[in-house]
Amino acid sequence: MSRKEGGKRDRVTLKIPAELYDNLKELIEGTGFRSVTDFAVHCLRDVASGGRLDSPSPGLSQREIEAVRDRLRALGYIE
């Protein structure tokens, strides 16, 4: 974990299953993402920008939201 001056963290380690890492590495080939970390940060920022996980996204039905949640569970992102 690295630290900026004054002791504030600028990065931390996030552990994910190796199989997921390998799948993401293949997924991002040729996309312009330099690393799995860059891709993961992009995805997490996108999710976090909504502010809440339990609020419905505009334009998605409840069934679509559940399908996304099921996929995220299968990928190991949520329990």
Residues 67 and 41 both lie in one domain: no
Domain extent, residue 22, equals 1-48
Residues 33 and 68 both lie in one domain: no
Question: pLDDT tens digits for the chain (79 residues)?
Answer: 555 566 678 889 989 999 999 999 999 999 999 999 999 999 888 888 876 666 655 677 888 888 888 888 888 888 7
DSSP 56: P
Q: Tell me the backbone φ, ψ of residue 7, rounded to 5 degrees.
A: 85, 0
Residues 9 and 40 both lie in one domain: yes
pTM over 0.75: no
Q: What is the pLDDT of residue 19?
A: 95
Residues 14 and 44 both lie in one domain: yes
